[in-house]
Amino acid sequence: MRPRTLFLGTGDIAVPSLASLLDCSLVEMIGLVCQPDKPVGRKQVLTPPATKVLAAERGLAVFQPDRLRGSVDLVAELAPDLMVVMAYGQIIPQAILDLPRLGCWNLHASLLPRHRGAAPIQAAILAGDAFSGISVMAVEAGLDSGGVLLQERTALAAGETGETLHDRLAELAPVALARALPLLLAGAPTLQPQDPAAVTHLGKLERAHGVLDWGQSAELIERRIRAFHPWPGTSTCLPDGTAVKIFPPVVAAEVPTGGALPGTLLQAGPDQLVFATGGGRLAVFEIQLAGARRLRVADYLAGHPRAVGEVWGAPLRGRA
């Protein structure tokens, strides 16, 4: 008899894995648990999670409890033999973890024990890692601390952004899941404990985390701009305080700044803005002022000339 399988996932990254389970002959899908619909955009239109949209298209039952902690009876009534989790967005209480006889397994978007937490994709780019991947791990009470069954690795590409790595890991997760399922269904899979000394962590990102600290090195700022695209995005401000978004690609160069204050505009044009940082120079090619559209620097400068020597933003020490 095929094991009754419940999928818990909300984020877009989980859609390919849910699709793969719906097409899998090894399991019987009994439902999707995801977060409630949320208002999106300027008009705050109530929008379902992408996993819910797929489930509805495929006729899979959908459950959207506000808090999973109060839904033990719901999950117990579904009687899952196996639970698979990816980007669900809530802590799963122990009373639910104890229900499936084949366990509860998470597809985590990093090579654990590196980058536990809510932002593993951005963390890998920010850290300058050469590789990322998907870890299939046992869910337990700790945060991403369970034993690892297996991993699928992928090299980070030059110019990798949070967006491109997100999409590649979304497609890699079903590959890891396909390898893991036969091991899980056989029972008592062998797990590799995580090395506590190798653990890193990055928590939930907020928009404030994207405010640039020009006092950091150009290399670190360049990685931050790539890592935080498209969310939470990166920004600074003009000398008058007007907020400015900055988009990848940007170019970091280990070139002396002549002692200029970090954030000083060293070059304005023809197609780039070059800033002094705490170590080297950073060239920017696309920006967006608050309330305006995204522009190439050449187009922006055509109507808004900037003065070399002016200082943008301010150092914000201690930002994650």
Domains of the chain: 4-198 (3.40.50.170), 207-303 (3.10.25.10)
Q: What is the pLDDT of residue 187?
A: 86
The tens digit of pLDDT for each residue in 88-116 reads 999 999 999 999 999 999 999 999 999 99
Q: Say how far apart CA 95 and CA 74 lie, in whole Å.
A: 12
The tens digit of pLDDT for each residue in 187-242 reads 889 999 999 999 999 999 999 999 999 999 999 999 999 999 999 999 999 998 89
pLDDT band at 314 (very low <50, low <70, confident <90, very high): low
Query: Which pair of tokens denotes residue 22?
Result: 């719906």
Query: Which pair of tokens denotes residue 58?
Result: 């495929």
Q: Is 135 left (phi over 0), alpha (psi -120 to 50) or beta?
A: beta
**pLDDT over 70 percentage in the chain:** 98
Q: In the beta sheet, which residues pair with residue 152?
A: 134
pLDDT band at 41 (very low <50, low <70, confident <90, very high): confident
Does the pLDDT value for residue 315 go beyond 60? Answer: no
Contact 34, 62 (CB under 8 A): yes
Q: Say how far apart CA 107 and CA 138 lie, in whole Å.
A: 9
The tens digit of pLDDT for each residue in 126-182 reads 999 999 999 999 999 888 999 999 999 999 999 999 999 999 999 999 999 999 999
Average pLDDT of the chain?
95
DSSP structural state of residue 64: -
Q: Helix (H, G, I), strand (E, B), or coil: what is residue 77?
A: helix
Q: What is the pLDDT of residue 320?
A: 28
Question: Which ranges of the chain does DSSP label H, i.e. alpha helix?
Answer: 15-22, 50-58, 72-78, 94-97, 120-126, 162-186, 218-227, 297-303
Contact 4, 80 (CB under 8 A): yes
Give the mean pLDDT of 264-276: 97
Query: Whole-model pTM?
Result: 0.94
